[in-house]
Structure 1
Amino acid sequence: MRTKKIKDMKIKNLMLGATLSMFILSCSKDDNNSTSTDLNEAQVSAKIDMATEDVAKIAEDQYALQANPGAGRSSEYDVQALPPCATVDIQLTATTWTRTVTFDNCTLPNGNVIDGTIIVSGSLNFDTPSHTISYSFVDFHHNNILIEGNRTIVRSLQSTTTLAAVHPVANMSIDMTVTFPNGNVYHREGNRVREMIEGFGTPMVWADNVFSISGSWTTTFPAGTRTSTITTPLRVEADCPHIVSGVVNTVGTNNTATLDYGNGDCDNQATLTVNGNTTTITLGN
């Protein structure tokens, strides 16, 4: 009888051990899956950030060219020349302008490749303190990522807490649907403020332009919605294809992630911290 009890206890212990092992392996697998998901979402978010930045630049440049015809430059406007493969169709009414910019797999100066059409429009009254620029897309791709949606940018010249000197400030309303080549679809809504903090005093030189980006938005991923806030302004330099510094804090259902773009070097490295665990990630086109 005693032998049977000992045998039963051994069997129970073995079953308990097996159950615990399965639980631990399951937790480990879940943790690995969670880390992989966080890394993937951080990379996706960075690519959407870069697409948003390039769209803002193109829309603002078309406004500047329309507001300042001829050479397209003055002390107030700084315009990046479009790649030679881009074409622009201009339509005017009595009160409005529309510039349809079509790209044929064009490489921008920062190395990003765009294809398709952006339609940019606004009022012909350029004497107001601020100007609203509308933009929309037609079969538009940024590094093979399909961008859809339409929204506005309110552009003005002003002094801000970021920079006391009067400088160009673009307040961008975001409502984009983004489809990646693998078929994953993401939707982003929010607000992004883009300030030119360097280079506005040298309008004939594009390469010295530097922008400071602030704002917040929500992004709907296949796994749920994340809310992101720029806690340290993002720094964008005209001659670099990557965001060079700044911090974005993202809050999801089960965790908080912080994406740090670095110390100002033009590289494709960033650090992602999720619930206290930090990983270096690569941000590619």
Structure 2
Amino acid sequence: MKSRIISLPLAAIFFLFAVLSITSCQKEQSQNGSEEEQEMEASRVSSEADGESEIVFNGVFDDVMGVNDEVGVGGTGIFGRVTACPDVTIDRLNPPAPFPVRITLDFGTGCVGRDGHFRKGKIVTVYTGRLIVPGSVATTEFVGFYFDSISVQGVHKITNTSSPVANVPPARQFKAEVINGKLTKPNGNFTEWNSTKIITQMEGLATVSPLDDIFKIEGSARGRVKRGNLLTIWESNIIEPLVKRFNCRWIVRGKIRIVRANATANSPWIAVLDFGSGNCDNQATITINGRTHQITLP
């Protein structure tokens, strides 16, 4: 069975995210500047790539949860913040059973949402059950999808890891994974990213509306980034839980520690990405070797 809904009001498609990690002993490459400048640049670029990935992929969680209250909670992510643009196609994969179900968001040749970001292509998610039910899984892939000029690739997977034991209010927890994620820019620069995070709901459990939902995010990731002549790999860990409110498209609080490949235990070239003290904005800071830089998130 297949139904098609045209031009639903949808919103900010990604936010998200990047907590990246290192697994090899690859060496950073750069052709310009002193050794200290190269170290600073590699740390800065790694941190910015980590933050950009966190924003882009973390927003997928909102979007997948927000399609409707049949598969999630409805009204979150792009379904609460963007003007009409994508076509939504719902395919029952084992009719008449409601699940599994495949939902496709098709942005076509593109549109600009209220947040000012351009999106085109498709986001395709298969749900095994309603995501608020323990054990349910949603697996998302991207088909020719672009966020602004950035090509988005990879697999995003959400698993409800909440305890099936009834609680009042019920506890709610999810495992969010990005597998072989990649963000590619028109000039050939890219970020590759794999992450595993635990997302726990802290507030809003006693109400039906998602607007008062607040989550904390913990976990780690690994990645590789290319910026011009620079190629570096790194790992990152959340050292202060990230705080995500459903009524804000950015992470509002929390810190990530980013370490590059080959860094010694006492290396000064360790970066801390700080998302702020609770304000809903796109500003964050990166501190490297005692020097703090302000950055703007997508």
Task: Return the TM-score normalized by structure 2.
Answer: 0.71
Aligned to 1:188: 193
Maintained 8 Å contact 1:173/1:191: yes
Aligned to 1:179: 184
Maintained 8 Å contact 1:39/1:281: no
Answer with 217-226 or 261-270: which moved more: 261-270
Q: Distance in 2 between matches of 1:85 and 1:113?
A: 11
In the TM superposition, what is the alpha-carbon distance from 1:165 to its structure 2 partner? 4.9
In the TM superposition, what is the alpha-carbon distance from 1:151 to its structure 2 partner? 4.0
In the TM superposition, what is the alpha-carbon distance from 1:157 to its structure 2 partner? 4.0
Residue identity in the other structure for 2:276: G
Answer with 231-240 or 28-37: which moved more: 28-37
Secondary structure at the counterpart of residue 191 of structure 1? strand
Aligned to 1:87: 87
Aligned to 1:39: 44
Answer with 237-246 or 139-148: which moved more: 237-246
Secondary structure at the counterpart of residue 67 of structure 1? coil
Match among 126, 135, 141 for residue 140 of structure 2? 135
Is 1:145 matched up with 2:150? Answer: yes
Q: How does 1:43-122 map to 2 (within 5 A)?
A: 43-62=48-67, 65-67=69-71, 77-80=73-76, 81=79, 83=82, 84-94=84-94, 96-103=100-107, 104-107=110-113, 112-122=117-127
Q: Distance in 2 between matches of 1:119 and 1:87?
A: 12
Maintained 8 Å contact 2:203/2:215: yes
In the TM superposition, what is the alpha-carbon distance from 1:33 to its structure 2 partner? 3.3
Task: Return the TM-score normalized by structure 1.
Answer: 0.74
Q: Distance in 2 between matches of 1:65 and 1:214?
A: 26
Secondary structure at the counterpart of residue 267 of structure 1? coil
Match among 217, 238, 246 for residue 238 of structure 1? 246
Is 1:168 matched up with 2:181? Answer: no
Change (3 A) 1:124 1:247: closer
Q: Distance in 2 between matches of 1:51 and 1:177?
A: 10
Maintained 8 Å contact 2:214/2:246: yes
Secondary structure at the counterpart of residue 33 of structure 1? helix
Secondary structure at the counterpart of residue 244 of structure 1? strand
Calculate the aligned-residue CA RMSD, in Å.
2.9
Gaps of 5+ in 1: 1-26, 69-76
Q: Distance in 2 between matches of 1:142 and 1:51?
A: 8
Aligned to 2:29: none
Structure of higher CA gyration radius: 1
- Asked which structure has the greater RCO (Cα within 8 Å, sep 6+), the reply is 2
Aligned to 1:15: none
Gaps of 5+ in 2: 1-31, 264-268
Match among 263, 266, 277 for residue 290 of structure 2? 277
Aligned to 2:278: 264
Residue identity in the other structure for 1:66: E
In the TM superposition, what is the alpha-carbon distance from 1:111 to its structure 2 partner? 5.8
Aligned to 2:232: 224
Partner deviation per Cα, 1:1-56 (whole Å, 9 max, x = no partner):
xxxxxxxxxxxxxxxxxxxxxxxxxx983322332332233222211101111112
Q: Distance in 1 between matches of 2:251 and 2:156?
A: 23
Q: Distance in 2 between matches of 1:98 and 1:152?
A: 14
Maintained 8 Å contact 2:250/2:280: yes
Change (3 A) 1:182 1:199: farther
